[in-house]
């Protein structure tokens, strides 16, 4: 019975992690992008009852060896490093839209980034977002990786 509190604590931490996570609202997986184009990246942060403080995000493009992209947490064997080409590195401050009536979107922030011009038609890439926040009263650090696969048109 002494394991029960430990199991409940671990389950609570897992639930907190998922509650504090982000989602990539745009572009959608499988979208086509053009070299050199401006791309709007929407990073959503669903509501949570647990307090948190946003630290930063990093938005990058990771080249894929095959048509299926690796997770950004895996080592990508390129000269660009595991995060790929950094398109944005800085503050993250998700807000509700000021649309009335509300469009039922979670708090989010849009970033306009430029797709590197050296990509070629048919290349597969992953748009990766690395998220860092401080969670709970502790606080403890949440480091999270999300990505969507895109195709260069």
Residue 61 pLDDT greater than 90, yes or no: yes
**Where residue 144 falls among pLDDT bands split at 50, 70, 90?**
very high
What pLDDT is stored for residue 2 in this prediction? 62
pLDDT number for residue 76: 39
- Identify the DSSP state of 95: B
Question: Is-contact 132 56, C-beta < 8 A?
Answer: yes
Structure tokens at 22: 């982000």
pLDDT digits 0-9 by tens, 83-103? 889 999 999 999 988 776 666
Max alpha carbon distance in the chain (Å)? 60
Reply yes or no on whether the pLDDT at 77 is more than 70.
no
Checking if the pLDDT of 10 tops 90, the result is no
Q: What is the pLDDT of residue 11?
A: 43
**How many angstroms separate the CA atoms of 110 and 87, rounded?**
13
* Residue 56 predicted with pLDDT over 80: yes
State both tokens at 115: 């797709």
As given in the structure block, the two tokens for residue 34 are 């053009």
Q: What is the pLDDT of residue 108?
A: 94
Distance separating alpha carbons of residues 19 and 70, to the nearest angstrom: 24
Q: Which residue has the higher pLDDT, 85 or 3?
A: 85
Over pLDDT 90: what percentage of the chain? Answer: 56
pLDDT top residue among 84 and 80: 84
* Domains of the chain and CATH, by start: 3-152 (2.60.40.10)
Average pLDDT, rounded, for the chain:
81
- Comparing C-alpha atoms, which of 36, 52, 33 is closest to residue 126? 33
Token pair of 38 as six digits: 């401006």
Lookup result for tokens 């509190």? 5
Q: What does the radius of gyration of the chain's CA atoms come to, in whole angstroms?
A: 17
Report d(CA 126, CA 152) in Å as an integer: 10
Q: What is the pLDDT of residues 89-138, one digit of tens each?
A: 999 999 988 776 666 788 999 999 999 999 999 999 999 999 999 998 88
């Amino acid at each position: 019975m002494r394991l029960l509190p430990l199991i409940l604590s671990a389950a609570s931490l897992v639930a907190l992690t998922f509650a504090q996570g982000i989602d990539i609202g745009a572009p959608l997986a499988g979208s086509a992008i053009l070299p050199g184009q401006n791309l709007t990246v929407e990073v959503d942060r669903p509501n949570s009852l647990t307090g948190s403080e946003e630290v930063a995000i990093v938005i990058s493009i990771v080249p894929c060896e095959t048509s299926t992209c690796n997770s950004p947490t895996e080592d990508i064997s390129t000269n660009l490093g595991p995060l790929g080409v950094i398109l944005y590195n800085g503050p993250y401050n998700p807000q509700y839209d000021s649309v009335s009536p509300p469009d039922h979107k979670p708090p989010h922030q849009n970033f306009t980034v430029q797709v590197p011009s050296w990509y070629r038609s048919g290349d597969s890439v992953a748009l990766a977002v690395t998220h860092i926040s401080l969670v709970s009263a502790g606080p403890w650090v949440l480091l999270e990786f999300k990505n969507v696969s895109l195709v260069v048109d």
